Structure 1
Amino acid sequence: MAETRKAGRYIVPVAVAGVAAATIGLVPALAASGDPDLPEITAQQLIEKIAASDTQTLSGTFRISTDLGLPLEGLASGLTSGLGGGAGGSGTADPSQKLTELISGSHTLRVAADGPERQKLTLLDGSDEYSLIHNGDDVWAYDSKSKEVFHEKAPADAGPKDAPKAELPGTPKQLADEVLKAAGDTTSITVDGTAKVAGRDAYQLVIKPKQAGSTVESVKIAVDAANGTPLKFTLASVEGGKPVVDAGFTKVDFSKPAASDFTFKAPEGAKVTEGAAEKAAEEATGEKDGPFGGQLPEGLEGVLGGFGPGAGAGKGDVNVIGEGWTAIAKIDTGAPAPKTDEAPKEIQGLLGSFGDKVTGKFGSGTVFKTKIVNALLTDDGKVYVGAVTKDALVNAANAGK
């Protein structure tokens, strides 16, 4: 959807996907005490089982917890409102805004799926609910707290490729696919015992970087022993503590959900926003939602634009240093970094709370850190970012001089 693509310009994804490559270990699974006693299986066989899994129908509940190690509680919700939510935005029911809440804290979700054309996700927040329903050519979203509805429908003359798509974000299956899709020789993958997840027997697939300098300690995927569906996904940082991402089913049923689960009618009196109408208005007026009115500040546009499909011309180009888990993206913004002491006091406090001043052969700069993704912004406007340690970023910047 246009709104999803629009939000994607400003949101740095939580998942460190695509940097993982895999050397497949052949360690058989051994049942730990108290865990299911399942037949032995190798990592190669278990990955093949995941790839062959064709689960089309399911319903259940899963919980996702995210801990990026950011110093400010509620930072994600602040970003969400700053990215076009609230007044002047497209409404709190817009999925591109609402689902950014999943990048912070713990959330419980109900899910249902009946093939590629029908899915439903409900985000539970106390007595309030937010539902996202995909049924054929329609995508509906409803926020019970604000009584707002968002609707996106494919044009009458659109082909299947133009129909709106709605995936279930953050599910163990989606996360596992992202990590496993780029296999290579920088990662060790083994099977480490069995477990019970949502009442199902599962194998434990463990993925670890072979390279030093990565912030990723391990990725663990609990795989349903019967049908190969990932039931739980855990991403751990070398810093220890809570997992960076911990997403797993607490209940799951693989039978076909009722057709009524995917029907939706806007409640009486609810405000309905049509996504297609918004897009047409934007194209007619040239106006865009977002914290900068569709325009990014000088320098920042080069940084974020360097990650998009238009990268590759002039300033903002991305050069990749290294490979696998320790790959670092280098971007030259073409503009000096903004001076922290010239920013508002609130911004100075924010930057100072998760930024470390560093110096080296490259000059000086600031490393902005989370438990997984770290970024070095040099004073002369170069950016080094990756799922690597602070020292790895400094070393890359020194080597670039």
Structure 2
Amino acid sequence: MRYLDNAATTPVRAEVLEAMMPFLTRWFGNPSSHHTVGEAAASALDDARSRVAAVLGMRRGDVVFTSGGTEANNLAVKGIAVAAQANRGARRVVTTPIEHESILQSADYLRRIHGFDIDVLPVDATGRVDAADLAAAIGDDTAIVSIGYANNEIGTIQDAAALGAATRARGVPLHLDAVQAAGWLPLRDLGADALTLAGHKLGAPKGTGVLAVRGRIPLEPLLHGGGQERGRRSGTEDVAGAVGIATALELAEAEHAESAARVGALRDAFVARVLATVPRAALTGHPALRLPGTASFVFPGTSGEAILLELERRGVVSSSGSACAAGSDDPSHVLTALGLDADVARTAVRFTFPHDLSTPPDDVADALAASVAAVGSAG
């Protein structure tokens, strides 16, 4: 089986599991407990926090461990916006139509429950945001700007530096959803005030995540209780999970330049062959400014679901887009925001390669052959 759905999730790396194991067995204590077992857990948690902060170029106290990217995005968008509303009367959120649902639905919650206005910036046909449009949208009442560093369906990469410059000029916090970008792109010096990560995209277990938010940014917690994570996220911390995501993040940071170059070259060859071989195939997203591991297509005149079933029958596992929207009959909101017709959007297929240098060229060749046959069967 060729697994080419790594944007949905990745297997846990052996190094990560090894690093986590002591905190699932011998040193299993509650880090808030004042005894030897608890203090060992607390020390490991602090060390994991420092390691994550070092990779991101932020302070240890900026790192909040969460249950994953969805919680981290919710905490960033809601927590920063509600605090800004309370502190300075801000009541506007700026985002784009191609964001992950955890951002879009958090913004909608703020509109419905807290009376916020939501400004949705346009994107071009490749999914890119114009920094000039962002600058024009920011006003004195803007609480937060929340944009994905790289899109989870089409892989398009935003100009984080330009977006950060636009928000800094107006003194408005910028939140970057870096869940898909981690392991492929640099994570330091992005000009962001808040950044979200999910461990299971990097070789850590599902249920692990990070919100890194600079200490000067007020943040209203979503969870209340024990006051863990400096009062920003109550609940007994998952020490083993924190160690796991810290280890996975360090490995990804050390390898990302090499893996991006190697996998990007394989991906480019795959894209070129699909476009040359499969009738009516069209690439979605930016042709160059895209994640090295992402190749996303539409195949007009076919059925995306039929293609996926035929691919799996032929030994290739891929997806139609975000795993969070699996099972829905609605076309991708990302693809329709790019201007694609709903029927065409329903023919989408996304291939996403791993970034641990484990994809042999034979997998790409097999995926190509299976794709040609699958589209032919579904057409």
TM-score range, shorter chain: under 0.3
Which of the two has greater strand per residue?
1
Which of the two has greater helix per residue?
2
Greater RCO, CA 8 A, separation 6+ = 2
Q: What TM-score do you get using the length of structure 2 for normalisation?
A: 0.25
* Rg larger for: 1
Q: What TM-score do you get using the length of structure 1 for normalisation?
A: 0.24
